[in-house]
């Protein structure tokens, strides 16, 4: 009896969960190796980040040890990586827009050089967004180019 009830409960829960994702391209045109880290605890409650999600025709760019662990991406000069934001929302959300707001206003990635974490002003001068709103560094579906400040 317990097994039948458990199976029935799973069938009822499955339709209420859905998945979605955004892909973002990050290109390092600077002279430094950059560390890209999944740092958001809030986002972790609603999804996760996959590093180095390059299409099959492109080589993997993140240094292998960290990318395989899913903790960070060490992006060397001249390399491009693809980061995928995978998020989960349940039927209690009104629509996709609620989940997008979480992703848009909370930036799950932090960027720092291997040598020293960048201050805010240097950080802003080192990144170029390619999105509909270039003033928002945390626009989660925009592409990013890192260059020398």
pTM of the predicted model as reported, rounded to 2 decimal places = 0.55
Q: Per-residue pLDDT averaged across 119-137, rounded?
A: 46
More confident residue, 22 or 14: 22
3-state helix, strand, coil in the chain (%, to 5): 30, 35, 40
- Say if residue 80's pLDDT is above 80: yes
Domain boundaries, the chain: 18-146
> Residues 83-117: pLDDT tens digits?
776 766 554 444 444 444 343 333 445 454 444 44
């Amino acid at each position: 009896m317990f097994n039948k009830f458990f199976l029935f409960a799973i069938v009822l829960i499955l339709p209420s969960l859905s998945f979605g994702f955004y892909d973002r391209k990050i290109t390092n045109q600077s002279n430094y190796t950059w560390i890209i880290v999944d740092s958001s605890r809030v986002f972790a409650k609603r999804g996760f980040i996959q590093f180095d999600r390059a299409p099959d025709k492109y080589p993997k760019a993140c240094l292998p040890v960290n990318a395989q662990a899913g903790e960070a991406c060490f992006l060397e000069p001249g390399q491009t990586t693809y980061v995928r934001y995978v998020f989960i929302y349940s039927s209690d959300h009104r629509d996709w827009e609620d989940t997008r707001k979480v992703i848009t206003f909370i930036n799950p990635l932090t960027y720092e050089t291997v040598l020293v974490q960048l201050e805010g002003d240097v950080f802003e001068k080192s990144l170029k967004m390619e999105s509909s709103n270039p003033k928002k560094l945390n626009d989660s579906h925009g592409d990013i180019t890192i260059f020398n400040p």
